[in-house]
Structure 1
Amino acid sequence: MTRFPTYPVLLVDDEETWLRSFSLALKSQGIDNIICCQDSRKVPEILAETEIEVIAADLAMPGIPGDELIDMVTARYPDIPVLVITGLSQVETAVRCIKRGAFDFFVKTNDKSSLVSGIRHAIQIRELKRENSSLRSRFLHDTLEHPEAFESIVTCSKTMRSVFQYIEAIAPSSQPVLITGESGVGKELVAQAIHRLSGRQGEFIPVNVAGLDDNIFADTLFGHRKGAFTGADKARPGLVENARGGTLFLDEIGDLAPASQVKLLRLVQEREYLPIGSDVTRKTDARIIAATNAEPEALNDPDRFRSDLYYRLRAHHVHLPPLRDRREDLPLLVDHFLRKGCGNRKKPALPPALLPMLAAYPFPGNVRELQFLILDALSCSGSDMLDMERISTHIGKHPSAGLIPHAVHPPHKEETPESVSPALPATETGNGHILFGPELPTLRHACDALVSEAMRRTGGNQALAATLLGISRQALNKRLHKARD
């Protein structure tokens, strides 16, 4: 089972009763990775042998007093926050400890909730510092430490690489993650990558919450006791329980009903939930990852989604670009889906016009739509060449079909040479011939117009634009430089 936090919390006090009661209070709140030390003289040895997340130490102790402990820790281990626990008569001394480098101080009372909150806050600060340090290192050196975690995501996009670097930095955190992006961009694949990198021992449990009413949502996530309602002939643990020590992935979170949002807020904020028919709350250590195809600005609308829940879920935010913004991935994805669809069959060759046609299409269904197109075309193809007819028919039905190269999409039968606007210098007909208006463009102007149109259709991707024009990328580069000069 995964313990929280990753590195232990060190409790230092000479009173054994207080150590026991405080550790129980922490465990009741999900903080179960704890080391108790009754002799402060052993603290240097513990720090030398063990990575410690947070230290909570009594101020008045025999051996090494709390103020000397602060000096030692801040000098040798400045990243470890130290929380000082004081008696009612030691508040002024505690304030001096803050000035010497202590993270915070708390008065020792029977109510330990404030101290538990302080330790949780210190853990969050340390996690953020580690993430920031990791991000700086990864972006500075442009490295991925665990590329194998992303092997299910086919890409060569620099934008996606930046996303992967961010994911590597936040994966060890216990904080929720919100993944946004259009339908079909691969949000669940990214959630699985986060889970793999997190090191959590539990399972990855996905659930699509779209369309679930409040009762079904509560039963699906939180489970129920036997006899909780008619037909509940046996207890059900629920998906939160199944995700213990692992990750709970909530897809289409933007469609969650308002009543369910209240229950989810308690789960995210307090890490506790109430099974149907039970009056005893249960704790969870499952990491929450939510996903939505709604824009973050639209989701952050109080009339649609609770703002407090939105900001809790968005402790970390991963936005995935649509396929039209990473067109350089098209050749890799087409080849991947062909290999996947062919199995042991011989992979058919690609028609020369296929990639330029796909590059000009906006793909509203993103990678999922591309997969459908390739596998559908493969089902109608022989072993020599991929059949493009079904792909071109599908793409031609889209409102943006006018942006697609005319060599692939012939004009309607009623179009004639006379119907072509004379303002356009040239138009390509369905049989591959080019029709010109009354005035011929110069060769230079025609070339410039072709290059400009190719760059527009491919979103500025030079590799795909060169493919569209039938020239090398180096030749396209020369023409672009001439156009600028």
Structure 2
Amino acid sequence: MHTSCYPQRGILLVDDEEAFLRSMSVALERQAGFSHLYRCQDSRQAMSMLATHPIGIVLLDLTMPYLSGEELLSQISAQHPDISVIIISGLNQLETAMDCIRSGAFDYYVKTTEERRLIDGIKRAVQMQQMQAENQALRQRVLSDTLEQPEVFAQVITQNKAMRAIFQYLESISTSLQPVLISGESGVGKEQIAQAIHTLSRSHGPLISVNVAGLDDNVFSDTLFGHRRGAFTGADTARSGMIEQATGGTLFLDEIGDLSPASQVKLLRLIQEGEYYPLGSDRPKRLRARIIAATHQDLEAKLASNDFRNDLYYRLKVHHVEVPPLRQRLDDLPLLLDYFLAEAAKELSKSTPTAPKELYALLSHYHWPGNIRELKALVYDAVSRHKARVLSMDVFRQVIHSESKTLDTSANASDRVYFPSEKPLPTVQEINQLLIDEAMTRAQGNQSLAARLIGLSQPALNKRLKKSAP
């Protein structure tokens, strides 16, 4: 019944005043988006409701007939220690409040106090419970080293341990509605991670993606919030924004690091308040979608230069995923290469070529500034040119040779310190042998590749290897 409600574990309101139960239920739904609510007017029924319904928070009045709030608090604390109890009282008494906290209450509020403070307190309790559930789920997955839904990650080609740890983390936060920040260099697959998060959430709504790079404040507002008819010149019809289109699903904001300062303020308010105003409207709408943001930029550096708001950064970073670059997951190169070879051959209507063994060693020494996207482009280019059964390495050699020349010309001679001054210099013969040994290690024993790495011909390298052999 409540599978699509928020929060996942419901909120039980216990009070003998029907008017308070009604007004508080409306306030929780309209102001906080809480729809998983239960109401109990007879305190004697509260414990049976806790036993039969998935409840995580109890909003409990102190002064009630039959069972008092203090008696119920004692029973809930003893039988359901995982449930957070928030006390609501008509009396502002410090001693009573302290007694309730000592008895296990999560918080204490006075009924005459501003309603907004109470709702904010309930939000904190919900967030804390979500974090506890996520941490427990993550611990269980890490200890068992299992994935509950491995099929969700089928499109992410990997055998890397760091990537598997990310998958386990994503499963642990799948039920949370809090924002997720995905960071990583261009081309590492942040969009695939966003898709996986959306799929894991099992939400009934769609995944709506918006690239916010280059959007000025007006376009950003219209794109996200939409507008009413007549809101501005040319607005002949009403238009729903991306937030409304993502209702019940996920709103993915790509390149969030490029967002303008004015748009950052609007996004912050959207996340904080959970509501927004379409352009030309004075009636707010609720945010009913999970927000995922992604960036290839160093947001902490942008914080230091005041180019990105500190408060927005921490609102977006409730959950954080750092996707490693390809050069840190080189064990995935064979899998990715084979996958892209087959994909490119199919798309180009060619037979799948065989990759030479030395190609894997060659690619493992490349920096991969464009990451997986660059690898895919190189493979497609190589397959489009190949004619023989074995794939030519020319396309890859050109790129890697070009980068090595760039690195050579950009390096300063003053930075090239190879030997500690306090130690004697090695002989030329020793240096030559060390260089050859390192080249053979990097080339995984392939003489042809090792020779190219150090600028020798293969016969010359073979001669030196034979000379140094015992």
Q: Which range, TM-score by smaller chain?
A: 0.7 to 0.9
- Tell me the CA shift for residue 341 of structure 1: 1.6
- Tell me the CA shift for residue 223 of structure 1: 0.5
Spell out the pairing of 1:185-204 with structure 2 (5 A cutoff): 185-204=188-207
Alignment partner, residue 480 of structure 1: none
Counterpart contact for 1:178–1:290, Cα < 8 Å: yes
Q: Which runs of 5 or more structure 2 residues have no equivalent in the other structure? A: 409-417, 419-426, 451-470
Q: Could you tell me how far apart the structure 2 residues matched to 1:227 and 1:402 are?
A: 57
Alignment partner, residue 353 of structure 1: 358
Query: Aligned to 2:357, what secondary structure does the other structure show?
Result: coil
Alignment partner, residue 424 of structure 2: none
1:7 to 6, 9, 22: 9
- Tell me the CA shift for residue 449 of structure 1: 4.6
Deviates more, 1:358-367 or 1:42-51: 42-51
Spell out the pairing of 1:57-136 with structure 2 (5 A cutoff): 57-88=60-91, 91-109=94-112, 111-136=114-139
* 1:379 and 2:384 matched: yes
Instruction: Give, as a single letter, the amino acid of the residue that structure 2 aligns with 1:452.
Output: E
Q: Could you tell me how far apart the structure 2 residues matched to 1:115 and 1:292 are?
A: 35
Spell out the pairing of 1:164-175 with structure 2 (5 A cutoff): 164-175=167-178
Name the CA shift for 1:64/1:349 in 2 (closer, same or farther; >3 Å).
Answer: same
1:216 to 211, 214, 219: 219
- Tell me the CA shift for residue 200 of structure 1: 1.7
2:401 to 396, 406, 410: 396
Counterpart contact for 1:11–1:35, Cα < 8 Å: yes
Alignment partner, residue 209 of structure 2: 206
- Tell me the CA shift for residue 43 of structure 1: 1.8
Q: Could you tell me how far apart the structure 2 residues matched to 1:401 and 1:302 are?
A: 30
* 1:362 and 2:362 matched: no
- Tell me the CA shift for residue 397 of structure 1: 2.1
* 1:238 and 2:224 matched: no
Alignment partner, residue 416 of structure 1: none
Render the CA deviation track for 1:403-431: whole Å, top value 9, x for unaligned.
9xxxxxxxxxxxxxxxxxxx9xxxxxxxx
Q: Could you tell me how far apart the structure 2 residues matched to 1:206 and 1:115 are?
A: 34
Spell out the pairing of 1:5-44 with structure 2 (5 A cutoff): 5-29=7-31, 30-44=33-47
Q: Could you tell me how far apart the structure 1 residues matched to 2:74 and 2:351 are?
A: 70
Q: Could you tell me how far apart the structure 1 residues matched to 2:440 and 2:77 are?
A: 60
Deviates more, 1:389-398 or 1:355-364: 389-398
Name the CA shift for 1:11/1:469 in 2 (closer, same or farther; >3 Å).
Answer: farther
Q: Could you tell me how far apart the structure 1 residues matched to 2:144 and 2:209 are?
A: 34
Name the CA shift for 1:267/1:234 in 2 (closer, same or farther; >3 Å).
Answer: same
Alignment partner, residue 465 of structure 2: none
Name the CA shift for 1:274/1:467 in 2 (closer, same or farther; >3 Å).
Answer: farther
- Tell me the CA shift for residue 141 of structure 1: 2.2
Q: Could you tell me how far apart the structure 1 residues matched to 2:311 and 2:305 are?
A: 9
- Tell me the CA shift for residue 440 of structure 1: 5.1
Q: Could you tell me how far apart the structure 1 residues matched to 2:167 and 2:54 are?
A: 27
Q: Could you tell me how far apart the structure 2 residues matched to 1:158 and 1:400 are?
A: 33
Q: Could you tell me how far apart the structure 2 residues matched to 1:251 and 1:468 are?
A: 44
Deviates more, 1:383-392 or 1:95-104: 383-392
Counterpart contact for 2:73–2:105, Cα < 8 Å: yes
- Tell me the CA shift for residue 266 of structure 1: 0.6
Deviates more, 1:65-74 or 1:314-323: 65-74
Alignment partner, residue 452 of structure 1: 438
Q: Could you tell me how far apart the structure 2 residues matched to 1:56 and 1:302 are?
A: 44
Q: Could you tell me how far apart the structure 1 residues matched to 2:342 and 2:444 are?
A: 25
- Tell me the CA shift for residue 116 of structure 1: 1.0
RMSD of equivalent CA atoms: 2.4
Q: Could you tell me how far apart the structure 2 residues matched to 1:86 and 1:144 are?
A: 45
Number of equivalenced pairs = 428
Q: Could you tell me how far apart the structure 2 residues matched to 1:220 and 1:273 are?
A: 13
Spell out the pairing of 1:127-166 with structure 2 (5 A cutoff): 127-166=130-169
Deviates more, 1:263-272 or 1:111-120: 111-120
Query: Aligned to 1:88, what secondary structure does the other structure show?
Result: coil
- Tell me the CA shift for residue 296 of structure 1: 3.7
Counterpart contact for 1:200–1:246, Cα < 8 Å: yes
Q: Could you tell me how far apart the structure 1 residues matched to 2:59 and 2:164 are?
A: 39
- Tell me the CA shift for residue 345 of structure 1: 4.5
Percent identity of the aligned residues?
50
Q: Could you tell me how far apart the structure 1 residues matched to 2:305 and 2:189 are?
A: 27
- TM score, norm. by length of structure 1: 0.83
Query: Aligned to 1:109, what secondary structure does the other structure show?
Result: coil
